[in-house]
Amino acid sequence: MRYLEVRRHTMRVKPSKHVCKAGVVLARRVGNSMGPFDRVVTSDVARAFESAIAFGFAVDEQLSELAEYDQDINEEVDRDADFNALARAVRKGGAAARLAHRQTRLWQSIAASVPDNGRTLVVSHGGIIELGAIGCLPDADHASWGAALDYCEGVRLNFDGQEFVAIEMLRNV
């Protein structure tokens, strides 16, 4: 089994592209209970990279695909919708489904890149993570997954080398 932990970046104050002081404090607190990781991958957006550092982990790779969000999804469902509403949008086969499938393939590739029992941290973005998780486990009880992810929250997925077989919601307490 391989483990993929996918976390949402920490806070920023718009229009800044960088995390704010409160975001660093939150990421440090959350990061104290994370890891260790064999590999750390973030999107190529500054706040994702900075979040990984604030979590306490050096970044091995940045991938633009972890930040690709099709604005057509906003016509299908609200960006802050809960997992169940997002799953309904995915089942319709439009832009949300396409993003979910792209993230699933990407996450499988990332998870496969570490040895058995390996752990990878991915830092990405709200909306993208939820759709990716739904794509990884399309037949799960998405209503039980609850609300959209907040800053620094995420999912931990178990990957058997072929597919994702289990998920755990990682919520801030």
Give the range of the structural domain holding residue 40, as residue numbers without chain letter.
2-152
| Residue 165 belongs to some domain of the structure | no
pLDDT band at 161 (very low <50, low <70, confident <90, very high): very high
| Residue 171 belongs to some domain of the structure | no
Q: Tell me: the pLDDT tens digits for 37-86?
A: 999 999 999 999 999 999 999 999 999 999 999 889 999 998 789 999 99
Strands 119-124 and 39-43: parallel
CB atoms within 10 A of CB 32: 10
Residue 80 confidence (pLDDT) = 82
Q: Tell me: the pLDDT tens digits for 144-159?
A: 999 999 999 999 999 9
Closest CA to 98 of 140, 123, 126, 128: 128
Collapse the DSSP code of 68 into the 3-class scheme (helix H, G, I; strand E, B; otherwise coil) and give the result: coil
Give the chain's length. Answer: 173
Tally the domains of the chain.
1
| Residue 162 belongs to some domain of the structure | no
Whether pTM > 0.85 for this model: the answer is yes
- CATH number, position 128: 3.40.50.1240
